[in-house]
Structure 1
Amino acid sequence: MDTAMHHDALHDLLSELAARHQVPGAQLAVCHEGERFVVHAGMADTASGSVVGPDTAFPVGSLTKPFTAGLAMILVADGDADLDEPLTGQLPEFDAGALITLRQLLSHTAGLPSDVPEGTSDVGGDRAVWVARHCRRRDLAHPPGTVFSYSNVGYVVVGRLVEALTGMTWQEAIGAILLEPLGLQPAFVAGPVRTGRPVAAGHAVQAARGRVVPMPEQELPEVELPNGGLALSAADLLMFAGLYFADCPDPKPLDRTTANDMCFDQLAAVAVGPYGMAEGWGLGWARFGDDGSHVYGHDGTGDGTSCHLRFDPVIGSAVALTTNANTGRTLWEDLAPRLRALGLAVGDRPELQPAAQPAGTSRPAAPDACLGRYTNGDTAFEVLRGDDGGLLLSFGGAPHSELLCAPDLRFVMRELGGGARSAGRFVTDPATGRIDYLQITGRLAARA
């Protein structure tokens, strides 16, 4: 098959799936067997009528984190930071830093709460003040170094460390030290520096009402820029992934050793891994299995956007998808097996459909030991028994999802009304057999 046919087939595939999932606009970038293909389709903003081009930036949400990790690792390689020293020496405002290292922050094992509390944006972009207020020893959700628990808070701290070491804001540093040397023009969804580069608007697909509603602004507090503030194209993501290919001998502004270290699983010694998100975690990158291969990458969602990146550093293949709708995740779930059939490793994830029950039988009831209240920082979950005997998950005082639980305590979380699915599990203490944790999308909440 020649290059034009490859390009056309990918464009047709992207257009087909975007229409199926009511995604207004998307980009797909692929590196496979030494060839690169970038296709795009649809509208960047349904309100203005602007179309998606190859350089349109999409808010990539948490896919910002590997870039922040790469920036921090450049500072490690330069001798300005240490992966394994407690951080209070360089960040005296970081009280919990007496117990926490940069390695733990980058691999989500520092024990910090998962999410930035609501109503804490009064400091603007002053991360030093924010860290002093919210990252004390008494704020820890877990003992550092013991479990994986995905943490946006941890990457706020990494952003603050970058500022302390460089004398620049995180926005200035990510541009000057990492992105601009790659020839990438950064765009940001918040903060004092944006860009003249076109940025796609997010969209909320309201399938039941047959509506697609544009969301012109990303509601991200400025303090959270290091964990979710970048806007990039699929081609930009593909270029960044290429730094980690084994056949890239001089991946400046990183170096070969640093790039390799970031793709090394850090979770061998932790008791609870990242079930529901990945199989392992490096320094900024998630690790996925795929038919014996190790695939790395990250996902990111914003307000009405969903973006995905996977790469195999050994064989040098990669795929990046950017979309501007909340249904972009289901587009990715449909796209992944189609790409796998073409020979691309895209990473396996937990099954998001509950296991089928034999005809004439009912789903076994989850044990009462699952019921109760679980907390992570300021976030509290309540697991309740539903009227049908199944489990309901409530937070914010209202039922949110049903938990379709298997006998081994893994479950599919299915949102009430919307139907969105995520994988999770209850985790038992091996010593006592007691169910002590609830894990959802990598976030680990302890029984209260």
Structure 2
Amino acid sequence: MNKSIRRAILLPFVISSLLIGSLAGASSPVYAQSSVVTKTTAAPDILLNGSPLAWASSEPFVYQGTTYVPLREAAEQLGAEVKWNKNKRATEMLIHGNIIDHLPETRYFTINGYTQLQAPAASLLQNGATMVPLRTLAAALSAKVTSSSNPIRHINLLPDSSTIIMDAANRADEYLIRQQFSGIALVADHGQVLLRKGYGLNGPDKLITPDDQTRIASLTKAFTAAAVMKLAEDGKLQLDDTLESYIPGFPQGDEITLHMLLSHTSGLASNFPRTAGLTLEQTIEAIKGKPLAFTPGADFKYSNSGYMLLGRIVELVSGKSYDDFIQSHFIVPLHMTESGIADQHTQVIKGYVSKADQWTLAGTYYTQPGSGGLYSTVDDLLKWDAALNTTDLLNQDSLDKLFTPYSYKNYGYGWMIDQTADNKIVFHNGSGTGYSTGISREVGGGITIILLGNHGGVDTLTMMRDIRQLITG
């Protein structure tokens, strides 16, 4: 073999061996020889908020189709505090209350010890610097990445401007991390946001952000109850109307009133069939075939079936679809632009269920109008919360009825009620295939807590109580 060719092949390996030897006694990680990149392509121009970045340690490059940047420099530019943790033998980044670890020569970024983000390739060594895939690092730090049209001429980084953690909410944030909460949380005091943050994964390579849309499950019931009250205000129905007068054929349907459906005192079955392709009419017929749990009005039993029937009654009385009625009377007037009825194509965060002590992607979410089915964001639900402290949507008499308990379970219409010595707290939780949600608010204004989780089976009621205690002391 020609000696010059032979030297060209061996030189990179000699250099890498010298680098590894020089690092062996330091506090930095030792990289295997295979992690040293010998052939790279120059990266596109990388900008921060539209301004070109200068790199002191090592220039970004493209290797096997992935753009790499120096970990420490890029993370610091995006606002993180970066240090080497010798006990973990990992680079540690601190930002927005999160601790993000990256173990050299792996594809993974671990957030707060329980969320693992996966990069398309492992980190590499270049001129003594740890080089990591740009887009995964940005995702781990909740930064946004935009690029020019193909072929890519430049990549622009936008540091996270969506996360809010005020000093008053630090303990609430720490609590949610300890609980390994996954989803979106918002805490506000009289409308001022104290905490607005995403936690956990939205798929294997994407973190949840505070801006994301998600299913709200049974928080939908508050909208259904408000719709019924709006129709009552307009004189189109009365709360003592019977189920029989709208949907005939139910056992003791002539004794079940709209008030009973709203307050879960009708005795109707808790749940209805949730099967792909099952029509609304077929679902209603299936509910008719189930016996009542008790004489109408005699007890309390939470009933998804009852609220699904209320959703159907809203359609029958208004002449509009449930979606159209909610949109025209609540969502559009409140400028809740990120809310509506979800279908299988709506871009919401992915739900997870626990199987064999692991969180796995949930199956398809099936529901019917009225009981569940709405999607929203924490920002839109904060608008909803604010509107319920005014008479812009409903008159005071209707609001009072929503927030009055009608059974020993302290359930009103679409809300549970906790009357304290100082104020009235109304709240509700929700659950669906892969989702656990909750909202807790003070009537008239105060502390509002919104949890939109994407792990099924999580106790959001306890979480909201604990967070309220942490915020108020």
- Report TM bin, short chain: 0.5 to 0.7
TM-score, normalising length: structure 1: 0.62
**Which residue of the other structure, out of 324, 330, 333, is the alignment partner of 2:462?**
333
Query: Rg: which structure is higher?
Result: 2
Query: Does residue 397 of structure 2 align to residue 257 of structure 1?
Result: yes
CA spacing shift, 1:340–1:24, aligned 2, 3 Å = closer
Q: Secondary structure at the match of 1:140?
A: coil
* CA distance in 2: counterparts of 1:175 and 1:121, whole angstroms: 26
Contact 2:426 2:441 in 1 (8 A): yes
- Correspondence 1:165 to 2:321: no
Contact 1:10 1:39 in 2 (8 A): no
Distance in 2 (alpha carbons) for counterparts of 1:114 and 1:227? 11
| Counterpart for residue 327 of structure 2 | 175
Residue matched to 2:411: 281
- Residue 268 (structure 2) pairs with residue 112 (structure 1): yes
CA contact (8 A) 1:22 1:327 kept: no
| TM alignment of 1:222-371, pairs within 5 A | 222=367, 224-245=368-389, 248=390, 250-252=391-393, 254-267=394-407, 273-274=408-409, 280-290=410-420, 293-326=423-456, 328-329=458-459, 333-334=462-463, 336-343=465-472
Structure 2 residue 360 is matched with structure 1 residue 219: no
In the TM superposition, what is the alpha-carbon distance from 1:133 to its structure 2 partner? 4.4
Query: Are positions 1:67 and 2:219 aligned together?
Result: no
Matched residues in 2 for 1:12 and 1:328: separation? 22
> How far is 1:152 from its partner?
0.8
Partner Cα distance (2:241, 2:433) in 1: 36
1:109 deviates by: 0.5
Aligned 8 A contact 2:419 2:425 in 1: yes
- Tell me the residue number matched to 2:353: 204
- In 2, Cα distance between equivalents of 1:132 and 1:6: 48
Q: Which runs of 5+ in 2 are unaligned?
A: 1-161
Residue identity opposite 2:417 in structure 1: R
Amino acid of the structure 2 residue aligned with 1:282:
G
Q: Offset at 1:102?
A: 0.6
Secondary structure of residue in 2 paired with 1:66: helix
Aligned to 1:154: 306
Q: Distance in 2 between matches of 1:101 and 1:241?
A: 28
2:278 maps to which residue? 124
SS at match of 1:182: coil
Relative to structure 1, is the Cα distance of residues 133 and 315 closer, same or farther in structure 2, using a 3 angstrom cutoff?
closer
1:305 Cα offset (Å): 1.9
Give me the whole-angstrom Cα distance separating, in 2, the residues matched to 1:100 and 1:77. 21
Query: Residues of 2 paired with 1:327 and 1:163: CA distance?
Result: 31
Q: Which has the higher contact order (CA 8 A, sep 6+)?
A: 1
Cα shift at 1:286: 0.8
Residues 183 and 454 of structure 2 are in contact (CA less than 8 Å); yes or no, is this contact kept in structure 1?
yes
Q: How far apart, in 2, do the equivalents of 1:69 and 1:37 lie?
A: 29
Shift of 1:95: 5.5
CA offsets 1:37-95 (integer angstroms, 9 cap, x no match): 451123451335153133x1222211111111111111111111110122322333556
Q: 1:418 matched to which residue of 2?
A: none
Deviations 1:385-415 (A, max 9, x none): xxxxxxxxxxxxxxxxxxxxxxxxxxxxxxx
Question: Do the aligned partners of 1:17 and 1:335 also contact (CA within 8 Å) in 2?
Answer: no
Q: Give me the identity figure in percent.
A: 24
**Residues 22 and 205 of structure 1 are in contact (CA less than 8 Å); yes or no, is this contact kept in structure 2?**
no
Counterpart AA for 2:471? L
Distance 1:305 1:130, change over 3 A: closer
> 1:306: how far off?
1.5
Query: In the alignment, which residue of structure 2 is the partner of 1:29?
Result: 187
* Aligned mates of 2:464, 2:415 — CA distance in 1: 21
Count of aligned residue pairs for this structure pair: 311
Give unpaired runs (5+ residues) of structure 1.
268-272, 275-279, 345-448
Residue 307 and residue 291 in structure 1: after superposition, are their counterparts in 2 closer, same or farther (change >3 A)?
A: farther
Amino acid at match of 1:294: K
C-alpha deviations, 1:253-300, integer Å up to 9, x for none?
Answer: x22321222111222xxxxx32xxxxx111211112445643111001
Q: Distance in 2 between matches of 1:11 and 1:104?
A: 39
**Structure-1 separation of matches of 2:440 and 2:288:** 31
C-alpha contact (below 8 Å) 2:447/2:468 kept by paired residues? no
Three-state SS of the structure 2 residue aligned to 1:40 is strand
Residue in 2 aligned with 1:363? none
Change over 3 Å in CA distance of 1:328–1:90 after alignment to 2: closer
